[in-house]
A and B are shown apart, each in its own frame.
Chain A
């Protein structure tokens, strides 16, 4: 089947939209890294690492992720009303 012709390059606004989606997709990967990296630290409970420090680390990152996701969600849902919502993601940029 012939694919419908797509523009090879996008206007700045749709381009931004695409990049925002890319960022939104990458956010959970980034978050997973932040949440799993403590596994590689020195074992807890041996003086080198404090439980309160861990608690602060996790909750700080948690808040950071939530804030980022909130910012992304505003952008992503705004484009839903602004432009064509479901442009194929595989399009050239």
Chain B
């Protein structure tokens, strides 16, 4: 067949796929996707597991290793028929948390850690690049096989050129359909349907070739059985370790391959799809492998020795002159390769843009905030990433120059992605898994895989020197890449798989057990592991700070104007707002918005963006903690409330006390006024009476003198009363000026005793003192303190009625304070009067004849208070006793 015709039919096929994708996208926009989201389409889209490696490579694999190829399909079969274990949970988590890729899953599970996202992305890209190269290589080989068989009128272009054209075409198709829009959930209906169509094409092609081989060339069922047993394949070796290991590896890969994750989890829309796929996908795999052995057997029998068994599917019909069948087979292989490359590129580009490009951009352009059209940015990041991924695939193809065995590259890639398994399964089944554990496991597993399998696969001296491969680094034999710890007898692939997964899982477990997860991790862990217990919101935004306008502006940039406005309008409607489309930024709304945004830009980025708008400028771990740690916020809030409540209670108490005091003061004031008017009136009355007598004249001179003396005495008493009152008011107002200085207590008491001797000088008192203990220097106002002593000693002299009156003065020092007791041996103060003796104008009952106005003790109390001390009546001392407690060193009052 002419090469041009081949290219033309390829183009026609691609245009047909374009048409399908366009048509589906159109229906998706109209919301009419009923049968397009049916379980059958979902199952068929899963068939991207069967790449060109299956389509062409399986036959080559069978020709080389007999039935071993079947392990690659048995593993996924076991995973799918056991969907109730893992897949159901994985898919549910994916839907509930709007997971966009396997990197997003692992990063979200471990506290939305972007570090893990980056690690998984890098690992996925490294593991997938050779795989993409493999697809390019198979298509190029099929082109060559086709072109070589036909008349050479138009010589085919070089393989390099074919590869470049192919890569460019694939990039174009992927960008056109993979990055048309940013969906809330990263779903691509057009692509999925196109892939389902390709799945049918490759199945039909392989079955057609198989049927032709069995019934056209092999002589029916009985004939083919005889040929199988007679063929060289029948002498294959079944290595038990490799057999079981490959089944496990394939099972792990179907869960971990980025493209499988994309179609299986991200594009899934309900559990019904998975239930159907649980048996239909194994059935697809079974049909795909059904004719592999016959094709290999007949190929080996009929094709010339030395022809590439990887191309038997194509070259066998060509050699038998079945042009149309060969064309179908070619399209089948082309479908296998293109569908895989497209989905892989989309999956990887999503990961690269969400976990590497967007976080970097957010960090670099922080100052500009969110002022640019992010939708365009995200889409462009995806487009560039797709180009990058495909360019890397081409670069690998170019460098490797097309390795001979397709299967080897595929299995190496499988082992690479299988490193995600411990973190993924641990993450969804074990709440104790931590970010540090996952990171350590992933990195250790990846390094081991690279060292023991990936780098040696390039051959000696390509990356690892031949000496290192043979003798180990620095001659340490037990570190030889292909015989770690002396396990030289193991199959290289199983050896690398065993050691990498063992170290990976061990590090994951040990470090998880030893570290303590952060709050976000713990919440996410609970939400993932208990996904069937209903939605557990791991995030609650403390709303308020974010302006709905800003949120809408940001959402429009990511989701597009219409989608964002609809989202906001619905939310506003739910909040009961009829007139405005802007909902209140409640925590629930913010959480919903974040979930929606994370479908477009990944969980970590969405979180960072909302954080920014909610007013958390820098997105540090602490911020994430305070945001996500719901209980902490509630506690904080209730603590604030509690504090406010306590403060209110304190204020209320203070107010009540003030009110009580005011009432009391008002009563006191009335009492004081009536008292003072009485006190003033008494002397005034006698003064007036005697002055009237004097003014009448003709009185005997001695009478005049007596009356004049009485008037003088009463006037003196009045003056003294007024002095005392003045004194008291100054003291009470606290405006008294103290002249502080060091003074000897004994001298003050001496002066007080001397000064009070004029009170009732006819009495002789025995005064008991301990002069040694009185020999103290106080820092205080000596004159005021002396006045207190004078008052107390005078009172004692005045009121003590004992036969042999005595005054006892004791001084003690206690903890920086001086205690001075002044006691007499009189009959003391009755109990009921003790409470009031320090009040103004208090006189003891039956003491009305006393001269004082009843202000002495009140003045004492105010003086002592001004000196920083207390004075109290000391009952039970056999007489009246007062206790003064003063500071040893009185500091000057502040201001």
Q: Which residues of A contact B (CB under 8 A)?
A: 21, 24-25, 27-29, 31-32, 35-36, 38-40, 43-45, 50-52, 54-55, 58-59, 62-63, 65-70, 72-74, 76-77, 80, 86, 88
**Do A44 and B236 touch across chains, with their CB atoms under 8 A apart?**
yes
Task: List the B side residues contacting A68 at CB < 8 Å.
Answer: 81
Task: Determine the residue in chain B with the shortest Cβ distance to A21.
Answer: B84
Nearest-neighbour CB distance to chain A for B98, whole angstroms, equals 19
The residue in B275, B280, B282 that gathers the most chain A C-beta atoms within 10 A of its C-beta is B275
Q: Is B247 an interface residue when CB atoms closer than 8 A count as contact?
A: yes
**Do B271 and A62 touch across chains, with their CB atoms under 8 A apart?**
no
Q: Is B82 an interface residue when CB atoms closer than 8 A count as contact?
A: yes
**Do A59 and B286 touch across chains, with their CB atoms under 8 A apart?**
yes
- Complex Cα gap A81–B231 (Å): 52
Q: Is B533 an interface residue when CB atoms closer than 8 A count as contact?
A: yes
Q: Tell me the chain B residues, 209-262 only, with Cβ under 8 Å from chain A.
A: 225, 228-229, 231, 233-238, 240, 243-244, 247
- Complex Cα gap A52–B233 (Å): 11
Nearest-neighbour CB distance to chain A for B252, whole angstroms, equals 13
Task: List the B side residues contacting A45 at CB < 8 Å.
Answer: 234-237
Q: Is B396 an interface residue when CB atoms closer than 8 A count as contact?
A: no
Q: Tell me the chain B residues, 45-103 only, with Cβ under 8 Å from chain A.
A: 66-67, 70, 74, 77-85
Task: List the B side residues contacting A70 at CB < 8 Å.
Answer: 279-280
Known: A52-B225, A55-B67. A44 touches B235 (CB 8 A): yes
Q: Is B655 an interface residue when CB atoms closer than 8 A count as contact?
A: no
The residue in B66, B229, B278, B532 that gathers the most chain A C-beta atoms within 10 A of its C-beta is B278
Nearest-neighbour CB distance to chain A for B118, whole angstroms, equals 33
**Do A69 and B67 touch across chains, with their CB atoms under 8 A apart?**
no
> Which single member of A29, A36, A73 contacts B279 (CB below 8 Å)?
A73
Known: A36-B244, A51-B233, A55-B67. A28 touches B279 (CB 8 A): no
**Do A55 and B81 touch across chains, with their CB atoms under 8 A apart?**
no
13 contacts between A and B (CB under 8 A): A25-B84, A27-B81, A28-B78, A32-B78, A39-B240, A44-B234, A44-B236, A51-B229, A54-B67, A63-B286, A67-B279, A76-B84, A77-B272
**Do B82 and A36 touch across chains, with their CB atoms under 8 A apart?**
no
Q: Is B612 an interface residue when CB atoms closer than 8 A count as contact?
A: no
**Do A51 and B82 touch across chains, with their CB atoms under 8 A apart?**
no
Nearest-neighbour CB distance to chain A for B537, whole angstroms, equals 17
Q: Is B283 an interface residue when CB atoms closer than 8 A count as contact?
A: yes
**Do A69 and B237 touch across chains, with their CB atoms under 8 A apart?**
no
Closest 5 interchain pairs by CB? A28-B82, A45-B235, A77-B275, A69-B279, A70-B279
**Do A35 and B84 touch across chains, with their CB atoms under 8 A apart?**
no
Known: A77-B275, A86-B533. A69 touches B81 (CB 8 A): yes
Task: Determine the residue in chain B with the shortest Cβ distance to A80.
Answer: B271
Q: Is B290 an interface residue when CB atoms closer than 8 A count as contact?
A: yes
**Do A65 and B282 touch across chains, with their CB atoms under 8 A apart?**
yes
Task: List the B side residues contacting A66 at CB < 8 Å.
Answer: 77, 81, 279, 282-283, 286
Q: Is B170 an interface residue when CB atoms closer than 8 A count as contact?
A: no
Task: Determine the residue in chain A with the shortest Cβ distance to B534.
Answer: A86
Nearest-neighbour CB distance to chain B for A9, whole angstroms, equals 22
Known: A77-B271, A86-B533. A50 touches B247 (CB 8 A): no
Task: List the B side residues contacting A21 at CB < 8 Å.
Answer: 84
Q: Is B398 an interface residue when CB atoms closer than 8 A count as contact?
A: no
Nearest-neighbour CB distance to chain B for A16, whole angstroms, equals 15
Task: List the A side residues contacting B78 at CB < 8 Å.
Answer: 28, 31-32, 35
Task: List the A side residues contacting B238 at CB < 8 Å.
Answer: 38-39, 43-44
**Do B290 and A59 touch across chains, with their CB atoms under 8 A apart?**
yes
Task: List the A side residues contacting B271 at CB < 8 Å.
Answer: 77, 80
- Complex Cα gap A24–B279 (Å): 12
Q: Is B293 an interface residue when CB atoms closer than 8 A count as contact?
A: yes
Q: Is B798 an interface residue when CB atoms closer than 8 A count as contact?
A: no
Task: List the A side residues contacting B282 at CB < 8 Å.
Answer: 62, 65-66, 69
A contact patch SS: helix
- Complex Cα gap A44–B74 (Å): 19
Task: List the A side residues contacting B84 at CB < 8 Å.
Answer: 21, 24-25, 76
Task: List the B side residues contacting A69 at CB < 8 Å.
Answer: 80-81, 278-279, 282
**Do B67 and A51 touch across chains, with their CB atoms under 8 A apart?**
yes
The residue in A44, A59, A80 that gathers the most chain B C-beta atoms within 10 A of its C-beta is A44
Task: Determine the residue in chain A with the shortest Cβ distance to B225.
Answer: A52
Task: List the A side residues contacting B717 at CB < 8 Å.
Answer: none
Q: Is B616 an interface residue when CB atoms closer than 8 A count as contact?
A: no
Nearest-neighbour CB distance to chain A for B354, whole angstroms, equals 29
Task: Determine the residue in chain B with the shortest Cβ distance to A61.
Answer: B74
Known: A45-B234, A52-B225. A25 touches B82 (CB 8 A): yes
Task: Determine the residue in chain A with the shortest Cβ distance to B86.
Answer: A28
Q: Is B276 an interface residue when CB atoms closer than 8 A count as contact?
A: yes
Task: Determine the residue in chain A with the shortest Cβ distance to B242.
Answer: A39
Known: A35-B247, A43-B238, A45-B236. A27 touches B286 (CB 8 A): no
> Which single member of B74, B85, B240, B293 contacts A51 (CB below 8 Å)?
B293
- Complex Cα gap A29–B85 (Å): 11
- Complex Cα gap A80–B279 (Å): 17
Task: List the B side residues contacting A67 at CB < 8 Å.
Answer: 279
**Do B81 and A65 touch across chains, with their CB atoms under 8 A apart?**
yes
Nearest-neighbour CB distance to chain B for A4, whole angstroms, equals 11
**Do B236 and A51 touch across chains, with their CB atoms under 8 A apart?**
yes
**Do A28 and B229 touch across chains, with their CB atoms under 8 A apart?**
no
Task: List the A side residues contacting B74 at CB < 8 Å.
Answer: 35, 58, 62
Task: List the A side residues contacting B228 at CB < 8 Å.
Answer: 50-52, 55
- Complex Cα gap A66–B83 (Å): 12
**Do B235 and A55 touch across chains, with their CB atoms under 8 A apart?**
no
Task: Determine the residue in chain B with the shortest Cβ distance to A28.
Answer: B82
Task: List the A side residues contacting B229 at CB < 8 Å.
Answer: 50-52
Nearest-neighbour CB distance to chain B for A22, whole angstroms, equals 9
- Complex Cα gap A74–B279 (Å): 10
- Complex Cα gap A71–B371 (Å): 55
Nearest-neighbour CB distance to chain A for B523, whole angstroms, equals 16
Task: List the B side residues contacting A72 at CB < 8 Å.
Answer: 81, 278
Task: List the B side residues contacting A59 at CB < 8 Å.
Answer: 286, 290
**Do A50 and B81 touch across chains, with their CB atoms under 8 A apart?**
no
Task: Determine the residue in chain A with the shortest Cβ distance to B531.
Answer: A86
Known: A27-B81, A43-B237, A69-B282. A32 touches B247 (CB 8 A): yes
Nearest-neighbour CB distance to chain B for A58, whole angstroms, equals 6
Task: List the B side residues contacting A35 at CB < 8 Å.
Answer: 74, 78, 247
- Complex Cα gap A89–B10 (Å): 52
- Complex Cα gap A50–B290 (Å): 17
Task: Determine the residue in chain B with the shortest Cβ distance to A58.
Answer: B70
**Do B275 and A76 touch across chains, with their CB atoms under 8 A apart?**
yes
**Do A39 and B278 touch across chains, with their CB atoms under 8 A apart?**
no
Task: Determine the residue in chain A with the shortest Cβ distance to B66.
Answer: A51
**Do B293 and A39 touch across chains, with their CB atoms under 8 A apart?**
no
Nearest-neighbour CB distance to chain A for B653, whole angstroms, equals 40
Task: List the A side residues contacting B283 at CB < 8 Å.
Answer: 66
The residue in A25, A44, A65, A73 that gathers the most chain B C-beta atoms within 10 A of its C-beta is A73
- Complex Cα gap A38–B74 (Å): 13
Task: List the B side residues contacting A32 at CB < 8 Å.
Answer: 78, 247
Task: List the A side residues contacting B231 at CB < 8 Å.
Answer: 51
**Do B243 and A36 touch across chains, with their CB atoms under 8 A apart?**
yes
Task: List the A side residues contacting B276 at CB < 8 Å.
Answer: 73, 77
- Complex Cα gap A43–B67 (Å): 13
Task: List the A side residues contacting B235 at CB < 8 Å.
Answer: 44-45
Task: List the A side residues contacting B244 at CB < 8 Å.
Answer: 36, 39
- Complex Cα gap A86–B535 (Å): 12
Known: A43-B237, A45-B236, A51-B228. A58 touches B67 (CB 8 A): yes
